[in-house]
Amino acid sequence: MGGKRGFGAIRRLPSGAYQARYTGPDGLRHQAPWSFATKEHADVWLAGQRTDISRGVWTPPGVPGPDEVALTFGTYAEAWVAGRDLKPRTRAHYESILATRLVPAFGKRPLDAIRPSDVRLWHATTDATKPTIRAHSYALLRTIFATAVADDLVPTNPCRIVGAGTTRRAGKTRPASLAELEVLVAAMPERLRLMVLLGAWCALRFGELAELRRMDVDLKRGIVRVRRGVVRVSTEVIVGTPKSTAGVRDVAVPPHLMSAVRAHLNAHVGAETDALLFPASDGRNMSPNSLYWHYYPARVAAGRPDLRFHDLRHTGAVLAASTGATLAELMARLGHSTPAAAMKYQHAAADRDRVIADALSRLASAPPSG
Catalytic residue among 310, 347, 352, 354: 310
Neighbours of 171 (CB within 10 A): 7
CA 87 to each of CA 84, 167, 238, 309: distance values in angstroms, whole numbers, following the listed order: 9, 22, 10, 22
Catalytic: 347? no
Catalytic residue among 134, 313, 314, 333: 313
Catalytic: 205? yes
**Mean pLDDT for the chain overall:** 84
pLDDT class of 294 with cuts at 50, 70, 90? very high
Q: Kindly tell me if the per-residue pLDDT of 63 is higher than 50.
A: no
- CB-facing half-sphere around the CA of 227: CA atoms within 13 A: 10
- Can you tell me the distance from the alpha carbon of 340 to that of 322, in angstroms, rounded to the nearest whole number? 17
* 214 in Cβ contact with 274 (< 8 Å): yes
Catalytic residue among 205, 228, 299, 304: 205
Q: pTM higher than 0.85 for the full model?
A: no
pLDDT class of 174 with cuts at 50, 70, 90? confident
Tens of pLDDT along 236-260? 788 888 877 778 888 999 999 999 9
Strands 229-233 and 223-226: unpaired
Catalytic residue among 336, 347, 352, 362: 336
Q: Kindly tell me if the per-residue pLDDT of 170 is higher than 60.
A: no
CATH class belonging to 178-356: mainly alpha
Q: Kindly tell me if the per-residue pLDDT of 171 is higher than 70.
A: no
pLDDT recorded at residue 365: 66
* 199 in Cβ contact with 295 (< 8 Å): no
pLDDT recorded at residue 352: 58
Catalytic: 295? no
Query: What is the mean pLDDT of the segment spanning 164-173?
Result: 71
